Amino acid sequence: MEEQKMHGFRAWLDYQLKHNDTFYRFFQTTVSFGMRVIGFFVPIDKKMILFSAHSRKYNDSPKTIYEYMIANPAYKDYKYVWALEDPEHVELPGPAIKIKADTPKYFITSMKAKYWVTCVNIERHLHYKKKKQLYLNTWHGCSINHCGNAVPGRKDFDFTAVDYMCYESEYHKEILMRDFLARAEAMIPTGLPRNDALYQTSKEEILELKKKLGLPLDKKILMYAPTWRDSTDNGKTYAIKPPINVEYWQKELQDDYVMMLRTHAYTTKLLGIEFNDFIRDFTSYPQINDLFKVADVLISDYSSCIADFSILERPIICFAYDYEEYCRVRGLYLDMEKDMPSGVKRTEQEVIAQIKSMNYDEECKKTKEMIKERITNYGGHATEICVQKMFGE
């Protein structure tokens, strides 16, 4: 019960910080000052690294960096700490200590650790980092929709304290500097560490992954990955209800395809879809790169997974059923009608028609030229570069 109350309070606090500017500024100013005072009495441990990943889970680029480091004897003397939402139920390889995210212990640890590695925000929008601490932020995707301070009502992103900030293209760099206030001297053109594996796949690996995932070997694989939608009930839930008639999709496509569905990590409810042998739920599957590798076609809307998937140079369909409303409420960096390989599909009928009529090789070429070469053209060795920047200089 206490755990549920705490989770509810955090959801409420997170929503208020994002949507109430007066509350945010008061909270940030007063709490940041208090944190800096406390931090003055907490000595830095020069060998401690604090990792924090997307949605407070063991995933994303921090996971990739951590596993690279523990496999390398050169980093055996470091002390690894992972901040997790539910540390008791997460198994980690290697010697890492687990702590619960956003607790007093978490914040004291963040004051103590010499190194911070995250794809979100270690300070939780506060400002208390010490000058002798080093902060690597890989972020968690190259955005198509407005993000950071470009989102209406948001002015709470300030990455001026970040020492190293990964980016995937000049397009991505501009967004991070303008809408997150990342400093020019902090920017490193690495791509995302989590995406390194997408540059190193093979037909043999794909075959083994399909077997592991229980996917048929005689059908093509669709991956549907809609982005997160903001809460409509003041942060209590973050639900999504795609306009999909599963029976219709199955009738039209089941002879040649199966579909994997993957919702965003922040989505708390999926409405209107029942899973079966044709449409399968992979939202909780921990390795999204495995899903990318086996997918023949990606269906998405405004998600940064479009940029990730483009590395594989395979067809991408933009299924933006709420395009006009989303443009008005959230905003986009791209003109999807012009910048997506097949424009914008607003109905499931249009999506299915595109799937059934596409020239596969031609669509692969469009993905490469229109997306990969524009918004995700750096990458492949990001993990190695990030570790060298943080620990090798």
Domain encompassing residue 81: 2-191+379-391
Strands 279-281 and 297-300 come out as unpaired
Residues 369 and 384 in one domain: no
Q: Is the pLDDT of residue 293 over 80?
A: yes
Taking phi first (over 0 means left), then psi (-120 to 50 degrees means alpha), and beta for anything else, what does residue 331 get? left
Distance from CA of residue 228 to its chain's centroid? 11
For residue 236, the model assigns a pLDDT of 47
CB atoms within 10 A of CB 149: 15
pLDDT in tens, 102-156: 999 999 999 999 999 999 999 988 999 999 999 999 999 999 999 999 998 888 8
Instruction: Write down how long the chain is.
Output: 393
Mean pLDDT in the chain? 90
pTM of the model: 0.89
Query: How many structural domains does the chain have?
Result: 2
Q: Is the pLDDT of residue 203 over 60?
A: yes
Q: Is 181 exposed, middle or buried (0-12, 13-18, 19+ CB in 10 A)?
A: middle
Residues 341 and 359 in one domain: yes
Residues 105 and 51 in one domain: yes
Residues 6+ positions from 38 with CB-CB distance below 8 Å = 107, 108, 111
For residue 369, the model assigns a pLDDT of 98
- The arithmetic mean of pLDDT across residues 275-298, rounded, is 93
Judge whether 259 lies within some domain.
yes
pLDDT in tens, 322-365: 999 999 999 999 999 999 999 999 999 999 999 999 999 999 99
Judge whether 196 lies within some domain.
no
CATH no. for residue 335? 3.40.50.12580
Residues 328 and 214 in one domain: yes
Q: Is the pLDDT of residue 158 over 70?
A: yes
pLDDT in tens, 93-113: 999 999 999 999 999 999 999
Which value, in Å, is the radius of gyration of the alpha carbons in the chain?
21
- pLDDT level of residue 229 (50, 70, 90 thresholds): low
Judge whether 279 lies within some domain.
yes
Residue at token pair 């000058």: 131
Residues 223 and 283 in one domain: yes
- pLDDT level of residue 89 (50, 70, 90 thresholds): very high
- The arithmetic mean of pLDDT across residues 250-257, rounded, is 97
Residues 13 and 37 in one domain: yes
Q: Is the pLDDT of residue 244 over 50?
A: yes
CATH no. for residue 66? 3.40.50.11820
For residue 56, the model assigns a pLDDT of 80
